[in-house]
Amino acid sequence: MTLDLSVYLITDTGLCGGYGVARTVRDAIGAGATFVQVRDPHATDDEFLALAVQVVAAARGTGVPVVLNDRVHLVAAAGADGAHVGQGDMPIAQARELLGPDAILGLSASEPAEFAAARATGARLDYVGIGPVFDQSTKPDAGAALGLAGLAERVAACPWPAVAIGGIGPSNIAAVRDTGVAGASVVSAICGQPDPAAATASLVREWSRR
C-alpha cells in the first residue's frame, strides 16, 4: 500500500472551535489534504469516538485515509483506517496485533535509537513522524526543534517513509520537503484558519513548487 502523506492534517478540536473538526477536514480534503489524523488527547473515549465517526464520514469516498491518534481500541468502531502512536502510547507490536495486518500504523519517533527499537519489534509500520522541525506551540511537551539539517539527518536514518511535524506552514513546507520527507504534518496551519480550504490549498501549492 502506497500512502500519499504529502499534506497530512492533524486535527485540533480547540483550534477548530465553532467551525468544527469535521467541517475543517472536509474543506481540507477538498483542497488537497492527503491524510488525516484525528487527535484530541483531552476527550473521553465516548467523545473521541463520536468525533472520529464524524471525521470518517467527512472523508468517506475521497480515498483520503483517516487514522486515530493513540486510541487504537477505537479504530474499528470508528471505521477508521488505522492509528498513530507515540513513544509513550501503546507499544507498536500490541497496536499491530489489535489493528490486524492491513490497517495503517504510524509511529512518532525522532531519534535513531527509537527507529532501531521499533525495527527490533518486527511489527510492520507504514510511516514515522519526526519532529518538531521548528519551534511550535500546538504541542507544549514536544522536544527541542531539530531544524532542517537535523530533520534531514533523521530522514536519512529512518527505514520508513518520514513525515515531518512542528511549526510547518506555507513559508517553509517546500524546504521541509527538500529534506527527503514523504510528507509534512500540520495542525494550526489549517485548524483555526479563517478559510481552511484556502490554507490547505496554499500548503499543497507550496509543497508542489519546484
- Segment 157-207, tens digit of pLDDT: 999 999 999 999 999 999 999 999 999 999 999 999 999 999 999 999 999
pLDDT at 2: 87
Domain parsing of the chain, residue ranges: 7-208
The number of angstroms, rounded, from the C-alpha of 5 to the middle of its chain's C-alpha atoms is: 8
CATH superfamily to which 7-208 belongs: Aldolase class I (3.20.20.70)
Residue 141 confidence (pLDDT) above 80: no
Q: Per-residue pLDDT tens for 86-136?
A: 999 999 999 999 999 999 999 999 999 999 999 999 999 999 999 999 986
Contact (CB, 8 A) for 54 and 24 = no
- What is 122-187 written as a DSSP string? ----SEEEE---S--SS-TT-----HHHHHHHHHHH-SS-EEEESS--TTTHHHHHTTT-SEEEES
What is the per-residue pLDDT across 147-171, written as a single tens digit (0 to 9) for each? 999 999 999 999 999 999 999 999 9
Kindly report the number of other CB atoms within 10 A of residue 209's CB atom.
10
